[in-house]
Amino acid sequence: MVPTMGPLRPILILLVLAAVWRLLSMQFKRRLPRPEQRRSAPRMGHCAHCGEFVPEEEGLHTPQGEFYCCPAHARAKPPPP
């Protein structure tokens, strides 16, 4: 006659399911990019002449603190109100 596991069987099943869940969740977390690896959007500036939004590293800042999308707009007269 084969001995049965009795009340230990549900506990054993729960332990196996918890272990599988833990392993799968660890694998999923490894695949996610870490916060320092995520690319952030560039800071955008608003052109004082035409109103376009341009990445700040591509635009021009004047000594007066204004931002322009290109040298031509920095030299141009301000647009009419």
Q: For the segment 22-33, what is each residue's pLDDT rounded down to a tens digit?
A: 988 887 777 666
**Distance of alpha carbon 42 from the chain centroid:** 12
Q: Is residue 27 exposed (0-12), middle (13-18) or buried (19+ Cβ within 10 Å)?
A: exposed
Residues 6+ apart with CB under 8 A from 54: 44, 45, 47, 69
At 77, list the tokens.
């007269």
Q: What confidence tens digit (pLDDT) does each residue in 31-60 have?
A: 666 666 567 788 999 999 899 999 999 999
pTM of the predicted model as reported, rounded to 2 decimal places: 0.49
Domain ranges, ordered by start, for the chain: 8-32, 44-75
Pairing between β-strand 53-55 and β-strand 60-61 as defined by DSSP bridges: unpaired
At 66, list the tokens.
């204004």
Residue with tokens 């035409």: 50
